[in-house]
Structure 1
Amino acid sequence: MRHPYAEAPSYTKWRHAVAAPAMAEVDPAVGFPFRLTRQDRVATAGSCFAQHIGRSLKAQGFAYLVTETAHPFIANVAGPCAYEQFSARYGNVYTARQMLQLVQRALGLFEPADRAWTGPGEAVYDPYRPTVQPGGFISVAELEADRARHLACVRRLLEELDYLVFTLGLTEAWISAEDGAAYPLCPGVAAGRFDPDRHLFVNSGVDAIVADVEAFLALIRSVNPRARLILTVSPVALAATAEDRHVLASNTYSKAVLRVAAETLARRHPEEVAYFPSYEIISGIHNRGSYILDDLRSVSEAGVAHVMASFARNATEQGPEFCPVPAAAAPPRRSALFDDLSRLVKAECDEAMLGA
């Protein structure tokens, strides 16, 4: 008998597409709608997983766009100071609301009331980038000067990019009760002081995330009509939850919401938005957990290599030879796991502080 599944391609069937292939050959990005060239200027933002994507794009010869770099005099501390972790020095942008407000601030449309946090001693911290300056700024004036330069660099980034790869990281966030300004970390974790009357917890649903992404994409395209958005979902699990429930349940909820939001956006705006399934490559059962390190959160270099091989094959004009799928399919040895962990800079994933 004939039915819709009889003639469906093999990649639509679990046995052929997931169970049978070797781990490194599983590729869920088939049919990705965009094809990047080496000339396309690609920017990254989002959660800590976006750092892996940006580093790999640069290593593979893409025109990875960075508009905020360190002065040569401080090049030796550029990494700890969050330069070139992303395309500008905004640090981790975990939520769609953060990204929307960053775009608004860069375009002069929003100025949060909370301007500076204090830390140990006389140090001053940026509430919206609390870990980019180790030890803090020496004064509010220095912070304000650095912030002005930073937002100018972000505006230039928005005007010049062809593609923005944005990794959705969290649904949970803390915001200001005064004006709704979204923080990357709960006040009091890295700097500042938590006040339950001034700081509110929110856990965004699909509709709120979709609305925030649509809003910031519209703003970007108002200054750069050619801009396109590639969404990914971070496979890195929550370090902690502010909900009164098990962190595993909160993590499942968060990833499900982010994945549905990304799908909704890609279907609603097919000419401007696409979803790339890096989350599925890293968290899928086909790799039997071998792409996650011993902390059960961090992603191994082999996992990143698999993601970028799929990206090269499905999302660029270079073809599979440009970035071959990694041959090694066996789980990494314990020594390799520790090598991978040692590559992680402590400030790279600020959210990890919540579970310390």
Structure 2
Amino acid sequence: MRDHPYVAQPGYAKWSKAVTRARISDVDPVVQGRFLVGVDDKVVTAGSCFAQHIARRLSASGFNFHVTEKPHPLIAPEIAETYNFGVFSARYGNVYTSRQLLELLLRAQGSFEPLESHWLDDAGKFYDPYRPAVHPGGFASLEELMQDRDQHLRATLRAFEEMDVFIFTLGLTEGWISLADGANFPSCPGVIAGEYDPDRYQFINLSVEQVVSDVLEFIRNVRSFNPTFRMILTVSPVPLAATATDQHVLTATSYSKAVLRVAAELISATDPERIAYFPSYEIITGNFSRGAYYAADLRNVLESGVDHVMKLFFRHYTSADVEGPNNLNNTLPSVHELDQMNKLVRVQCEEAMLDAGL
């Protein structure tokens, strides 16, 4: 037998052993975590729709999901949930792009105040352009919106100041900005509220270099006042609901996820002791599952997929004896099981509205 570098490679480095002959529930692309998250560590989450699953599971498993923007104690839990309290650490809604994340920090610090203050809907209600889906039905007045935003940004900065671990899920490269000052929006104007005007708004599609630059600037900024925080990057496995490019949505999705995956690798390589990439994207999209982790729309992630992701997160990134619900199996779900699992997929997602009714 000839000697070459691949002979001594471990089983996880070889497709036949790590994927082909492995049970679905045993596929583990993490290999080894870079650091451990303690049950008392203050964990702050942000990102795309998929990040909501991570936040929900951390909280349910007894970890310190750190929430700094909380509802009034007299508000009923179901109403608080409707108004997006506790979905993320603060009510910033989905932060789809790296540019949104950086601007969120700058706005919370008071070093950037976008010129566009509000959007209106057909009923004359006021919406926050930078989190338009957070307050369903809109605000009654601009004054109410501004007061809520001020409180929100203070809570956001406090979350960044106090966090021990920050989990950020990179979701999209496509976005919309204001031509007046470059401010980024989580949703195209006109989808939820506001009016689309090509003379006021511009479509952008971030490159690897731009994503890396945005996130590294965010890290440097936070480290100036919170020098010890650690960061876990993930890439959302949820495909684009729609693309504003002149491409098929499949190829547009492939570009977006490839950019984010490469960017995450480059960012994590800058500080291997304090920045990690967690492969939730590979766990959900890997062909070993034959697509079984996706709902009937082939876009939303089922609870069984979240189970697999979180089982490996707890195994490699915590010392706690938490494996998550053990409902992973090695066969494809039946139609009835798919219908039941579809009912469990409950995430707030502005991006999904791009495809609504079209």
- Residue equivalent to 2:353: 353
Residues 306, 326 of structure 1: 8 Å contact kept: no
CA distance, structure 2, for counterparts of residue 345 and residue 141 of structure 1: 31
- Asked if 1 retains the 8 angstrom alpha-carbon contact of 2:233 and 2:277, the reply is yes
Question: Are the counterparts in 2 of residues 117 and 127 from structure 1 also a CA contact under 8 Å?
Answer: yes
CA distance in structure 1 between the partners assigned to 2:301 and 2:224 by the alignment: 35
Task: Give 1:326 deviation, angstroms.
Answer: 4.0
The ranges of structure 1 where at least 4 consecutive aligned residues each deviate by more than 3 angstroms after the TM superposition are: 321-327, 343-346
- SS of the residue corresponding to residue 201 of structure 1 reads strand
* Paired position in structure 1 for 2:333: 332
| Cα shift readout 1:203-228 (whole Å, capped 9, x = no counterpart) | 00100000000011111111211111
Q: Normalising by the residue count of structure 2, what TM-score does the alignment of the two structures yield? A: 0.96
Say whether the 8 Å CA contact 1:24–1:325 is kept in structure 2. Answer: no
Q: Letter of the aligned partner of 1:163 in structure 2?
A: V
1:5 shift after superposition:
1.1
Is residue 13 of structure 2 the alignment partner of residue 8 of structure 1? no
CA distance, structure 2, for counterparts of residue 181 and residue 152 of structure 1: 19
Task: Report sequence identity in percent.
Answer: 51
Task: Tell me how far 1:350 sits from its aligned partner.
Answer: 1.0
**Structure 1: any 5+ residue segments left out of the alignment?**
none
Amino acid at match of 1:3: H
Which residue is 1:243 aligned to?
245
Q: Distance in 2 between matches of 1:44 and 1:106?
A: 16
Distance in 2 (CA, whole Å) between partners of 1:127 and 1:323 is 36
Mapped partners of 2:74, 2:346: distance in 1: 21
Equivalent in the alignment of 2:131: 129
Alpha-carbon distance between aligned partners in 2 of 1:56 and 1:172, rounded to the nearest angstrom? 28
| Pairing partner for 1:159 from 158, 161, 164 | 161
Q: Distance in 1 between matches of 2:323 and 2:294?
A: 25
What pairs up with 1:150-299 in 2 under 5 angstroms? 150-299=152-301
Letter in 1 for 2:340: D
Match in the other structure for 2:98: 96
The one-letter code sitting in structure 2 at the alignment partner of 1:48 is: C
1:324 deviation in Å? 6.9
Letter in 1 for 2:350: D
Q: Offset of 1:6 from its aligned partner?
A: 1.1
Asked whether the equivalents of residues 80 and 345 of structure 1 are also in contact (C-alpha less than 8 Å), the reply is no
Q: How many residues align?
A: 354
CA RMSD for the aligned pairs? 1.3
- The CA distance in 2 between the partners of 1:323 and 1:331, in whole Å, is 20
Q: Is the 8 A contact 2:307 2:328 kept in 1?
A: no
SS of corresponding position for 1:167: strand
1:327 Cα shift? 4.0
Deviation at 1:336, TM superposition (A): 2.9
Q: How does 1:308-323 map to 2 (within 5 A)?
A: 308-318=310-320, 322-323=323-324
**Contact preservation (8 Å) 1:124, 1:139:** yes
Deviations 1:163-207 (A, max 9, x none): 110000000000000111000000000000101011000000100
1:109-145, CA deviations, whole angstroms, 9 ceiling, x for partnerless residues? 1100010111122200000010111110000000000
Distance 1:322 1:294 in 2: 26
Q: How far apart are residue 299 of structure 1 and its match?
A: 0.3
The answer as to whether partners of 1:291 and 1:331 remain within 8 angstroms in 2 is no
Taking the TM superposition and a 5 Å limit, the aligned residue runs for 1:2-81 are 2-75=3-76, 76-81=78-83
Give yes or no for contact 2:95–2:186 (8 Å, CA) kept in 1: yes
Say if 2:174 and 2:205, in contact at 8 Å, map to a contact too: yes
Give the Cα separation in 1 of the matches to 2:101 and 2:223. Answer: 14
